[in-house]
Amino acid sequence: MALWTSAIGPAQLARQLQAQQPRPVGAGLRKPPAYRALADGIRLLVLEGRVPAAARLPAERELAVALSVSRTTVAAAYEALRGEGFLESRRGAGSWTAVPAGHPLPGRGLEPLPPESLGSMIDLGCAALPAPEPWLTRGVQGALEELPPYAHTHGDYPAGLPALRQMLADRYTARGIPTMPEQIMVTTGAMGAMDAICHLFAGRGERIAVESPSYANILQLMREAGARLVPIAMAEGLTGWDLPRWRQVLRDAAPRLAYVVADFHNPTGALADEDQRRQLVDAARSAGTVLVVDETMSELWLDEDLAMPRPVCTFDPAGATVLTVGSASKAFWAGMRIGWVRAAPDIIRSLVAARAYADLGTPVLEQLAVNWLMATGGWEQAVELRRTQARDNRDALVAAVRRELPDWEFHVPRGGLTLWVRTGGLSGSRLAEVGERVGVRVPSGPRFGVDGAFEGYVRLPFTVGGPVAEEAAVRLAAAARLVETGGGSGGAEPPRTFVA
């Protein structure tokens, strides 16, 4: 019986290790030996979940060749990891990663902290805000009033409730993109939509072009579906896409799918302009690539003077090239697991047919709640409240980070929920590790890249404001000092309880 559940090749592990920035050495301290630096690098990858637990590592000789170091260095690193509980070995079976007893198992995505941890930990890992009350309660109450006729049915609606499909189609039509309900499938969140699309269009081994960086949870979903990710760098600043590079990659790599976030990109906050949208649709059509556009942030513009460009699907109204994914989770509340896909009717039929082997359908009560909110105007009022919360949080977080960490660099996005920060030459992975010990949880840049890219970044969401944002910046500054002085590998002062 296998003692490991996955394997990582020497070249892949070497790329992830070589992308890490060297651990800083404090004044008066000696540079750690090569085996110690290697052990620390592997440990960081395990702690962040970028190398999963129970993953078989390369043989010592193979990794030594890939890293251009001696086999003795690799053997000593593996031995150190075994002593710390991060590696297990058995003769004839090799060595595989582990998590020491009592240490929380790392997630591979950006899972929210459990509620019991929130008293002492400021969670900047999950880009989600509390529900915009009273609209959540009103939406659920309205749904309960409309539930009785549906209770007399089997309750399975694989394409979604007809009323909600019509409502979503009407909303696209009002935005200038004529849409029929047959072009809509309601899903269990945007992740449910992406899972269905990947299974239909991108079988194991298929190429998917992705922005670099991109949304960590979607990247992980694609990896676990067996896709080969083709990263395409974003343009500088918040200016959207590098179209010449996109055209070249779509032409040369011929990916089956491409995934983009045109509206307040996660994590950078970039907003693609209208000409970029038109050009990207043309490039995808020419290459025969299906373009999946994530619109989950599209309603979260925060600056009043911002004129939003037309949706990407404006340039492919039939939905044969552009598949649009929307969701209630970002604009309304993460606990409202309602998403949708807009595409050509034949694509929707294929997605619905494939869904029969997954989740059958989306909860009826939540669909009724979203439909009630959109029909009564409650949705617009709730989203306006959400914009106000996010705007206030953004401004507070930006001010606090600029005050406490003046060397960190970022562009202030005009919408969305995330700030993409260059950390002044510090390792984002080490900041994430040390941050948890000083009471602030922050995802490192490599979670949003492919093969270890963006080691010098972290993502900060606009989920806290006021005194909590100020305290978060103070704790991040404390973590940065520990990393700068080389104190990030030992114990740190436990976080004090903070009550907002």
Find the largest Cα–Cα distance for the chain. 75
pLDDT higher than 80, residue 111: no
pLDDT above 70: percentage of residues in the chain: 90
pLDDT higher than 70, residue 73: yes
- Quote the CA–CA distance of 480 and 423 in Å, as a whole number: 9
**At 2, is the pLDDT very low, low, confident or very high (cuts 50, 70, 90)?**
low
Strands 184-187 and 207-212 come out as unpaired
pLDDT higher than 80, residue 264: yes
> Residue 227 corresponds to which tokens in the numbers above?
């896709």
Min mean pLDDT across 29-33, 88-92, 298-302 is at 29-33
- The DSSP call for residue 185 is E
- Quote the CA–CA distance of 20 and 30 in Å, as a whole number: 19
Under 8 Å between Cβ of 319 and 169:
no
- Quote the CA–CA distance of 392 and 481 in Å, as a whole number: 28
For 284, other C-beta atoms within 10 Å of its C-beta total 27
pLDDT, tens digit, for every residue of 220-232? 999 888 899 999 8
- Quote the CA–CA distance of 12 and 245 in Å, as a whole number: 24
Min mean pLDDT across 68-77, 113-122, 272-281, 341-350 is at 113-122
Q: Which sign, positive or negative, has the C-alpha torsion 27, 33, 37, 39?
A: negative
**Stretch 350-376: mean pLDDT, rounded?**
91
Compute and round to an integer the Cα radius of gyration of the chain.
23
pTM: 0.83
Higher pLDDT, 45 or 351: 351
Under 8 Å between Cβ of 242 and 233:
yes
- Quote the CA–CA distance of 30 and 24 in Å, as a whole number: 10
Min mean pLDDT across 46-55, 66-75, 159-168, 287-296 is at 46-55
Higher pLDDT, 166 or 89: 166
- Quote the CA–CA distance of 479 and 495 in Å, as a whole number: 11
Query: Which pLDDT score is estimated for 87?
Result: 92
**At 194, is the pLDDT very low, low, confident or very high (cuts 50, 70, 90)?**
very high
**Stretch 12-18: mean pLDDT, rounded?**
87
- Helix or strand or coil: residue 104? coil
> Residue 418 corresponds to which tokens in the numbers above?
């995330």
Query: Which pLDDT score is estimated for 59?
Result: 93
Under 8 Å between Cβ of 266 and 325:
no
Query: Which pLDDT score is estimated for 491?
Result: 42
> Residue 146 corresponds to which tokens in the numbers above?
């409309």
pLDDT above 90: percentage of residues in the chain: 67
- Quote the CA–CA distance of 100 and 103 in Å, as a whole number: 6
**Stretch 121-139: mean pLDDT, rounded?**
93
Min mean pLDDT across 116-125, 204-213, 246-255, 407-416 is at 116-125
**Stretch 69-83: mean pLDDT, rounded?**
94
